[in-house]
Amino acid sequence: MTSHMLTRSLDRGAAMFLMVVAACGILIPLSNLLLPAGSVLQVPTYLVALWGKYVCYAILALSIDLIWGYCGILSLGHGAFFALGGYAMGMYLMRQIGTRGVYGNPILPDFMVFLNYSKLPWTWYGFDMFWFAALMVLLVPGLLAFCFGWLAFRSRVTGVYLSIITQAMTYALLLAFFRNDFGFGGNNGLTDFKDILGFNVQAEGTRAALFALSCLALIVAFLICRSVVSSKLGKVLIAIRDAESRSRFLGYRVESYKLFVFTLSACMAGVAGALYVPQVGIINPGEFAPGNSIEAVIWVAVGGRGTLVGAALGAIVVNYAKTFFTSGVLAPYWLFMLGALFILVTLLLPKGIVGAFNAWRESARERRPAAAAASAAAEDGITEPDMAEERS
């Protein structure tokens, strides 16, 4: 009975989340496009773009929660998969510029002309076609995650060691993408995009559509994560998170499970990056910075690890705070605030916002006479183990 109640309450939270995202995805673009500018209810275009960015971050946070919250894999390099998805989209957008670039070369993007490339590098083949770029958005991060995970999980690299090598991975990519001769625009990255599928990326209509698409992607990503974690596979993931070697003795091939969920998560992060780039109008190697990946993990911790909804919420709340604080006199102190936030959350809300909310609601239910004390006690433990558990 207890577990039934639990799924039901979880479902209610999930349904509410999906409804809010869907409502935003429909109403915000409509308000932006249909209402007269300056009206109180009209969402200005700059906000549509900003919120679109948050939605992409929410997808990235979901992908991290899937592996960290449910399988105990603390990746501190997920920004790399996000950035690779972004680069794949950026390359498509670059090739759409065509003769409208400064140098007017129909094939070569400006930076290649500038660097005296005689022909298009093979890595850029096919990126003039949207379907190909879209495929690469999934394939490149997925393949990297698969190879990385195959090596790491098979050698049973876990815990802090795994976190460190994921940092090393994103750092190595940062250095590579910074190089001009790597062929992806060096430290300037890719920018000056003109259009996407024939629509002007700067146009209000395109921005509104990208926002709506990002919300749709968030919904799809959420549903994928939900169905994964509520399947029997989800139970195996939690078993691996809580007692990895025990799961092996039951006959589960732990490395295959980790590899599956890590690769899936990387593909999701790639999609988030691909939606992000046309909305911010640029992708550069800075996106690979190790700090970005750490920030993304903080969003998840703040929102509530292992709750999915919390991860998405955390991404939006922390980034809203970031926008708020970095645009004022407090700007130089943002990183300190972020660090303080992380420490405070770890100490005061070890289960994040959503975890704390669940615990509060649980205790409210407990106070009600009808609820059996035993069931409340049992439910209390369902929220995820705190982060101290990472040591294994």
Residue numbers of the site for another protein (CB under 8 A)?
1-4, 228, 231-233, 235-236, 238-239, 242-243, 245-254, 256-257, 260, 374, 377-378, 381-382, 384-385
Structural contact between residues 305 and 342, judged by C-beta atoms closer than 8 angstroms: no
Closest to another protein by CB, 20 or 376: 376
Chain centroid to Cα 265, Å, comes to 9
Residue 122: what are its φ and ψ, rounded to 5°? -60, -25
* Distance in Å, CB of 139 to another protein, minimum: 20
Q: DSSP code of 36?
A: P
What are the angstrom distances between the C-alpha of 127 and each of 114, 131, 258, 287? 20, 9, 31, 20
How many angstroms separate the CA atoms of 181 and 159, rounded? 35
Tokens of 78: 């997920």
* Distance in Å, CB of 232 to another protein, minimum: 4
* Distance in Å, CB of 365 to another protein, minimum: 16
Closest to another protein by CB, 120 or 233: 233
How many angstroms separate the CA atoms of 331 and 322, rounded? 9
* Distance in Å, CB of 148 to another protein, minimum: 18
How many angstroms separate the CA atoms of 183 and 16, rounded? 45
Closest to another protein by CB, 124 or 153: 153
* Distance in Å, CB of 243 to another protein, minimum: 6
Closest to another protein by CB, 204 or 255: 255
**What SS3 state is found at 282?**
strand
* Distance in Å, CB of 231 to another protein, minimum: 6
How many angstroms separate the CA atoms of 49 and 246, rounded? 47
Closest to another protein by CB, 356 or 382: 382
Closest to another protein by CB, 107 or 224: 224
β-partners of residue 195 are 200
